[in-house]
Structure 1
Amino acid sequence: MRTVDEIFNEALTLPNASRVLLVEKLVESLDFDEDITHIDEAIQELWIEEAQKRIDEIRSGAVKAIPGEEALAQVRRLLEL
């Protein structure tokens, strides 16, 4: 049986659109019948940390914010590859 790392590295060779489809299928395959409250809390904590990091980067000038429309256009172009 192949390792998760082997599968991950192989998935990285797929076009972006195929990788998005793979992620969607993997998420759909998860069994959410279990109590995942602790996972939800951990994910929420990670998102809060990520948001704070991004705010700090913008305020420090390390990164430049772009309008949402432009960001979405970039994502759409990437998905067309």
Structure 2
Amino acid sequence: MNTILEQALRLPMPERRKLADDLYDSIVSGSDGFSLSQEQRSEIDRRLADLREHPDKALPWGDVRERLRKVA
């Protein structure tokens, strides 16, 4: 694992969420040809707000990945 990721994983959860949001914003605002429609952006914002309001509803990525592998 690289040093930057190790440092990020040691951050408290609120700071990790902020970092993830900032990284995401830097990706979608970049000029590499990746862009979202306003509708897509609104949906992502809605889902992020829901996740922040109800963090207990979230599933770990490993669980989601396993469920997807079983149905694929």
Question: Normalising by the residue count of structure 1, what TM-score does the alignment of the two structures yield?
Answer: 0.37
Task: Kindly name which structure, 1 or 2, has the bigger radius of gyration based on alpha carbons.
Answer: 1
Q: Which structure has more RCO (C-alpha within 8 Å, separation ≥ 6)?
A: 1
